[in-house]
Structure 1
Amino acid sequence: MTTPASSDRLSFKEKLAYGLGDTASNFYFQAFNLFLSYYYTDVVGIKDAAAVGTLLGTMPILVALLNPVIGVVADRTSTRWGKFRPWILWGAVPYGILGYIMFTTPDVSLAGKLTYAYLTYTLMLITYAAINTPYGALMGVMSPSSEDRTSLSSYRFACAFLGALLIGWLVPVLKDVLTPAGGVPADGFRNTMAIFAVLSVGMFLYTFFNTRERVAAPVNQRTSLGRDLGDLRSNGPWLVLFFVAFLNLTNVGLRSGAGIYYFKYAVGNEGALGTFNLVGFLCFILGALSTKLFTAHFSRRSLMIVLTIINAAGIGGCYFVAPHNLVALYVLNIIGSFAAGPTPAIVWSLYADTADFGEWKFGRRATGLIFSATVMVQKIGLAIGGGMIGWLLSYYGYEANAVQTPRALHGINLLFSLLPGCFALLAGLAIVFYRLDEPQVKQMEQELAARKAAAAT
Structure 2
Amino acid sequence: MKNTTEKISVLEKIGYSLGDLAANLIFQTLMTFLAYFYTDVYKIPAHTASVIIFTGGMIGAFFNPVMGIIADRTNTRWGKFRPWILWTSIPFGVIALLAFSTPDFSPQGKIAYALITYILLVMIYSANNLPYSSLSGVLTGNMAERNSISSYRFTAVTIAQFIVQVILLPLVLILGNGDKAVGFENVMGIFAVVGIIFFIITFLTTKERILPPAEQKTSVKQDLTDLVKNKPWIVMLTVTIFVFITLSMKGGIYIYYFENYLSEHELASFLTNIGFNNVINSLNSLLTSIGLVGFHWPEDAASSGFSLFNASGIVMMIIAIALSKPIADKYGKRDLFGVALAISAIAQLMFYFIAPENIGLVFITQIIHGFFYGLTIPLLWAMVADVADFSEWKNNRRATAIIFSAMLFGLKAGLSIGGALVALILSSYGYSPELTMQSAGTINGILLTMSIYPAVTFFIAIGALFFYEINKEKEVMLEKELNTRREK
1:95-125 alpha-carbon deviations (Å, 9 max, x no partner): 1111111122111222111111111111111
**Of 159, 164, 178, the match for 1:162:** 159
Greater shift, 303-312 or 316-325, is seen at: 316-325
Is 2:50–2:423's contact at 8 Å kept on the other side of the alignment?
yes
Greater shift, 289-298 or 68-77, is seen at: 289-298
Q: Percent identity?
A: 38
Question: In structure 1, what is the Cα distance between the partners aligned to 2:332 and 2:141?
Answer: 19
**Of 87, 90, 95, the match for 2:87:** 90
- Map of 1:420 onto structure 2: 454
1:140-165 alpha-carbon deviations (Å, 9 max, x no partner): 00001111111111111111011011
Aligned length: 449
In the TM superposition, what is the alpha-carbon distance from 1:445 to its structure 2 partner?
2.2
Is 1:309–1:428's contact at 8 Å kept on the other side of the alignment?
yes
Is 2:477 the partner of 1:443? yes
In the TM superposition, what is the alpha-carbon distance from 1:344 to its structure 2 partner?
2.6
- Map of 1:190 onto structure 2: 185
Question: In structure 1, what is the Cα distance between the partners aligned to 2:14 and 2:360?
Answer: 35
- Map of 2:170 onto structure 1: 173
In the TM superposition, what is the alpha-carbon distance from 1:2 to its structure 2 partner?
6.8
- SS of the residue corresponding to residue 105 of structure 2 reads coil
In the TM superposition, what is the alpha-carbon distance from 1:375 to its structure 2 partner?
0.3
Question: In structure 2, what is the Cα distance between the partners aligned to 1:13 and 1:358?
Answer: 30
Stretches of structure 1 that go unaligned for 5 or more consecutive residues are none
What are the within-5 Å matches in structure 2 for residues 338-417 of structure 1? 338-402=371-435, 403-417=437-451
1:190-221 alpha-carbon deviations (Å, 9 max, x no partner): 11111111111111111111011000013432
Is 2:348–2:454's contact at 8 Å kept on the other side of the alignment?
yes
Amino acid aligned to 1:447: E
1:158-192 alpha-carbon deviations (Å, 9 max, x no partner): 11011011111111111111114xx7321111111
In the TM superposition, what is the alpha-carbon distance from 1:339 to its structure 2 partner?
0.6
- Map of 1:54 onto structure 2: 51
Amino acid aligned to 1:432: F
**Of 81, 97, 101, the match for 1:100:** 97
1:284-320 alpha-carbon deviations (Å, 9 max, x no partner): 1111111123224322211111000011011111111
Question: In structure 2, what is the Cα distance between the partners aligned to 1:184 and 1:445?
Answer: 54
In the TM superposition, what is the alpha-carbon distance from 1:33 to its structure 2 partner?
1.0
- SS of the residue corresponding to residue 105 of structure 1 reads coil
1:32-88 alpha-carbon deviations (Å, 9 max, x no partner): 111111111111111x21110111112111221110111111111011110000000
Is 2:243 the partner of 1:255? no
TM-score, length of structure 2 as denominator length: 0.90
Amino acid aligned to 2:244: L
- Map of 1:270 onto structure 2: 302
Amino acid aligned to 1:24: A
1:336-391 alpha-carbon deviations (Å, 9 max, x no partner): 11111121311211111111111111111110000011100111111111101111
- Map of 1:63 onto structure 2: 60
Amino acid aligned to 1:142: L
Is 2:220 the partner of 1:225? yes
1:384-408 alpha-carbon deviations (Å, 9 max, x no partner): 1110111111111111131100000
- Map of 1:24 onto structure 2: 22
CA RMSD of aligned residues (A): 1.4
Is 2:330 the partner of 1:330? no
**Of 71, 75, 93, the match for 1:74:** 71
1:3-24 alpha-carbon deviations (Å, 9 max, x no partner): 646xx31111111111111111
Is 2:93–2:193's contact at 8 Å kept on the other side of the alignment?
yes
Question: In structure 2, what is the Cα distance between the partners aligned to 1:323 and 1:235?
Answer: 47
Amino acid aligned to 1:360: W
In the TM superposition, what is the alpha-carbon distance from 1:452 to its structure 2 partner?
2.8
Amino acid aligned to 1:350: M
- Map of 1:308 onto structure 2: 341
- SS of the residue corresponding to residue 136 of structure 2 reads helix
Is 1:172–1:273's contact at 8 Å kept on the other side of the alignment?
no
- SS of the residue corresponding to residue 365 of structure 1 reads coil
**Of 129, 148, 151, the match for 2:148:** 151
Question: In structure 2, what is the Cα distance between the partners aligned to 1:124 and 1:417?
Answer: 29
- SS of the residue corresponding to residue 270 of structure 1 reads helix
**Of 126, 129, 135, the match for 2:126:** 129
- SS of the residue corresponding to residue 107 of structure 1 reads coil
Is 2:386–2:475's contact at 8 Å kept on the other side of the alignment?
yes
Is 1:31–1:167's contact at 8 Å kept on the other side of the alignment?
yes
- SS of the residue corresponding to residue 290 of structure 1 reads helix
In the TM superposition, what is the alpha-carbon distance from 1:446 to its structure 2 partner?
2.2
In the TM superposition, what is the alpha-carbon distance from 1:438 to its structure 2 partner?
2.2
- SS of the residue corresponding to residue 45 of structure 1 reads coil
- Map of 1:237 onto structure 2: 232
Is 2:67 the partner of 1:33? no
Is 2:108 the partner of 1:111? yes
Is 1:154–1:342's contact at 8 Å kept on the other side of the alignment?
no
TM-score, length of structure 1 as denominator length: 0.95
Greater shift, 247-256 or 105-114, is seen at: 105-114
Moved over 6 A (4+): none
Question: In structure 1, what is the Cα distance between the partners aligned to 2:427 and 2:127?
Answer: 33
Greater shift, 323-332 or 254-263, is seen at: 323-332
